[in-house]
Structure 1
Amino acid sequence: MSNKRISISDIQLGQPLKWDVYGSDGGLLLRRGFVVTNSNQVDILLQRGLYLGDDDEKEDPLVDADGRKIFPKTLERSSVVRMISHIREELAVLSFNLDQEPEARTKFLALAKQTMIATYLDSDVALGCILLHQNGGYAVRHCVDVAVVSILVAKALKKSDDEIIFLVAACLSMNIGMLSHQEHLQGKSEGLSREEQEMIFHHPEQSVQMLKAAGVNDETWLSWVLHHHENEDGTGYPGKKGSADIPKNAKIISIADRYCARICSRSYRKSLLPSAALRDILIGGKSTVDLMLVALFVRELGTYPIGTFVKLENGEMGVVTSKGASATTPYVHALTSPWGAPLPAAIKRDTQKTLHGIREVLHRDQVPVRFSMRHLWGEIAME
Structure 2
Amino acid sequence: MQLVPISVDSIRIAHPLPFPLMDKDGVLIAKRGYVVPSREDLLEYSGRNGGLFIDVADSEAHHKAYVERLQTMVREDKAIGEIASTKLSLSRDVERFEEPPERLDWLDLQFQANALALESQPEYFLQRLDKLSAQLQQNCQDMADGTLFALMYLSASDSRMYSATHGMLVATMCQLAARDVLKWPQHEVDVLCRAALTMNIGMSQVQDQLALQKEPPTAAQRKIIDEHAQRSVHALERLGIDSQDWLDVVRNHHQQIPGPLSTRSPSERMTRLIQRADMFAAKLAPRASRHPIAPASAMQSCYFDENRQVDEAGAALIKAVGVYPPGTFVRLVNDETAVVVRRGANTTMPKAAVLLNRQGMPTVEHTIRDTSQREHRVASSVAYREVRVRLYLNRMLALTLPGAIPVRMAP
Q: Does 1:129 align with 2:154?
A: no
Decide whether aligned partners of structure 1 residues 224 and 74 sit closer, same or farther in structure 2, where only a CA change above 3 A counts: farther
- Aligned residue for 1:142? 166
- Aligned residue for 1:273? 294
Asked if structure 1 preserves the Cα contact closer than 8 Å seen for 2:122 and 2:240, the reply is: no
Q: Does 1:225 align with 2:250?
A: yes
Q: How does 1:252-263 map to 2 (within 5 A)?
A: 252-263=273-284
Asked if structure 1 preserves the Cα contact closer than 8 Å seen for 2:174 and 2:317, the reply is: no
Decide whether aligned partners of structure 1 residues 296 and 335 sit closer, same or farther in structure 2, where only a CA change above 3 A counts: same
Q: What's the secondary structure of 2:216's corresponding residue?
A: coil
Gap regions ≥5 residues in structure 2: 1-91, 402-406
Question: Per-residue CA shift, 1:195-240, capped at 9, x if unaligned?
Answer: 4333222211111111111111122211111111111069xxxxxx
Query: Structure 1 CA distance, aligned partners of 2:309 and 2:132?
Result: 28
Decide whether aligned partners of structure 1 residues 73 and 363 sit closer, same or farther in structure 2, where only a CA change above 3 A counts: closer
Deviation at 1:337, TM superposition (A): 2.1
Alignment partner for residue 383 of structure 2, among 346, 358, 363? 363
Asked if structure 2 preserves the Cα contact closer than 8 Å seen for 1:152 and 1:300, the reply is: yes
Query: Structure 2 CA distance, aligned partners of 1:380 and 1:352?
Result: 17
Q: How does 1:326-337 map to 2 (within 5 A)?
A: 326-337=346-357
Query: Structure 1 CA distance, aligned partners of 2:286 and 2:154?
Result: 14
Q: Does 1:116 align with 2:149?
A: no
Decide whether aligned partners of structure 1 residues 371 and 353 sit closer, same or farther in structure 2, where only a CA change above 3 A counts: same
Per the normalisation by structure 2, the TM-score is 0.66
- Aligned residue for 1:23? none
- Aligned residue for 1:312? 332
Deviation at 1:80, TM superposition (A): 5.6
- Is 260-269 or 82-91 further displaced after alignment? 82-91
Question: Per-residue CA shift, 1:248-267, capped at 9, x if unaligned?
Answer: 11111111111111001112
Decide whether aligned partners of structure 1 residues 314 and 288 sit closer, same or farther in structure 2, where only a CA change above 3 A counts: closer
Aligned-pair identity (%): 24
Query: Structure 2 CA distance, aligned partners of 1:247 and 1:326?
Result: 29
Q: Does 1:104 align with 2:125?
A: yes
Query: Structure 1 CA distance, aligned partners of 2:293 and 2:285?
Result: 7
Query: Structure 2 CA distance, aligned partners of 1:83 and 1:270?
Result: 27
Q: What's the secondary structure of 1:310's corresponding residue?
A: strand
Asked if structure 2 preserves the Cα contact closer than 8 Å seen for 1:80 and 1:121, the reply is: no
Query: Structure 1 CA distance, aligned partners of 2:124 and 2:299?
Result: 37
Query: Structure 2 CA distance, aligned partners of 1:251 and 1:262?
Result: 17
- Aligned residue for 1:303? 323
Asked if structure 2 preserves the Cα contact closer than 8 Å seen for 1:84 and 1:118, the reply is: no
Q: How does 1:336-355 map to 2 (within 5 A)?
A: 336-355=356-375
Counterpart of 1:317, as a letter, is: T
- Aligned residue for 1:372? 392
Question: Per-residue CA shift, 1:75-132, capped at 9, x if unaligned?
Answer: 89x6665443222111222321x22453322321221111111121111111111232
Q: What's the secondary structure of 2:203's corresponding residue?
A: helix
- Aligned residue for 1:164? 189
Q: What's the secondary structure of 2:338's corresponding residue?
A: strand
Query: Structure 2 CA distance, aligned partners of 1:190 and 1:319?
Result: 31
Alignment partner for residue 114 of structure 2, among 92, 97, 121? 92
Q: Does 1:186 align with 2:211?
A: yes
Query: Structure 1 CA distance, aligned partners of 2:250 and 2:163?
Result: 16
- Aligned residue for 1:176? 201
Question: Per-residue CA shift, 1:321-369, capped at 9, x if unaligned?
Answer: 1122322221111122222222212001111222211222211232232
Deviation at 1:288, TM superposition (A): 9.3
Q: What's the secondary structure of 1:295's corresponding residue?
A: helix
Deviation at 1:294, TM superposition (A): 0.9
Q: What's the secondary structure of 1:115's corresponding residue?
A: helix
- Aligned residue for 2:5? none
Alignment partner for residue 208 of structure 1, among 212, 230, 233? 233
Q: What's the secondary structure of 1:266's corresponding residue?
A: coil
Question: Per-residue CA shift, 1:243-293, capped at 9, x if unaligned?
Answer: 95761111111111111110011122210110000222345x524998111
Q: Does 1:251 align with 2:285?
A: no
Gap regions ≥5 residues in structure 1: 1-70, 235-242
Decide whether aligned partners of structure 1 residues 218 and 148 sit closer, same or farther in structure 2, where only a CA change above 3 A counts: same
Counterpart of 1:227, as a letter, is: N
- Aligned residue for 1:32? none
Counterpart of 2:114, as a letter, is: A
Q: How does 1:21-32 map to 2 (within 5 A)?
A: none
Aligned length: 302
Asked if structure 2 preserves the Cα contact closer than 8 Å seen for 1:232 and 1:288, the reply is: no
Structure 1 vs Structure 2 CA RMSD: 3.0
Decide whether aligned partners of structure 1 residues 129 and 253 sit closer, same or farther in structure 2, where only a CA change above 3 A counts: same
Question: Per-residue CA shift, 1:42-81, capped at 9, x if unaligned?
Answer: xxxxxxxxxxxxxxxxxxxxxxxxxxxxx958789x6665
Query: Structure 1 CA distance, aligned partners of 2:382 and 2:328?
Result: 8
Query: Structure 1 CA distance, aligned partners of 2:309 and 2:197?
Result: 21
Asked if structure 1 preserves the Cα contact closer than 8 Å seen for 2:324 and 2:350, the reply is: yes
Query: Structure 1 CA distance, aligned partners of 2:154 and 2:140?
Result: 15
